[in-house]
């Protein structure tokens, strides 16, 4: 597979996971996150997976799109994976409610939407 094809696959994963994150937080509150272990695990896993997909995007694509905070996205993945015992839920909530929607908006402006499945 070419880098362009690989990039489109990983960008698709990021888009899909971003929609998952936004669905998870729809109607939720920051306070609920403190009390809902399932929501904590779901959000941290989805955000971690977004970072993993971003880590696999080609250097050429990353360099062509410096407006996207690639290092921050990948860095969040590293923090969630390696510092799992010290996860700051305020940061997870901000990522889920602010950063992920912004990322999705940026990606959707760069890439056409996927065609509907038949």
Q: Is 103 exposed, middle or buried (0-12, 13-18, 19+ CB in 10 A)?
A: buried
Task: Provide the residue-wise pLDDT of the chain in tens; the chain has 118 residues.
Answer: 446 669 999 999 999 999 999 999 999 999 999 999 999 999 999 999 999 999 999 999 999 999 999 999 999 987 888 877 788 999 999 999 999 999 999 999 886 555 556 5
Q: Which of 84, 95, 73, 79 is nearest to 13 (CA)?
A: 73
- Distance, in Å, from the CA atom of 100 to the CA atom of 82, rounded to the nearest integer, reads 21
pTM of the model: 0.86
In a domain, 15, yes or no: yes
Number of folded domains in the chain? 1
**10 Å Cβ neighbour count for 43?**
26
Does any domain span residue 70?
yes
Task: Print the domain residue range for 20.
Answer: 3-109
Instruction: Identify whether 42 is part of a domain.
Output: yes
């Amino acid at each position: 597979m070419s880098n362009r094809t690989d990039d489109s696959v990983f960008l698709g994963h990021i888009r899909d996971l971003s929609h998952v994150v936004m669905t998870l937080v729809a109607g939720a509150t920051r306070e609920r996150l403190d009390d809902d272990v399932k929501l904590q695990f779901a959000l941290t896993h989805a955000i971690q997976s977004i970072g993993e997909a971003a880590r696999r995007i080609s250097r050429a694509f990353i360099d062509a799109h410096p407006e996207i905070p690639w290092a921050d996205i990948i860095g969040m993945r590293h923090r969630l994976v390696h510092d799992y015992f010290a996860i700051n839920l305020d940061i997870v909530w901000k990522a889920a409610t602010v950063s992920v929607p912004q990322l999705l908006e940026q990606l959707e402006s760069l890439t056409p939407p996927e065609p509907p499945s038949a």
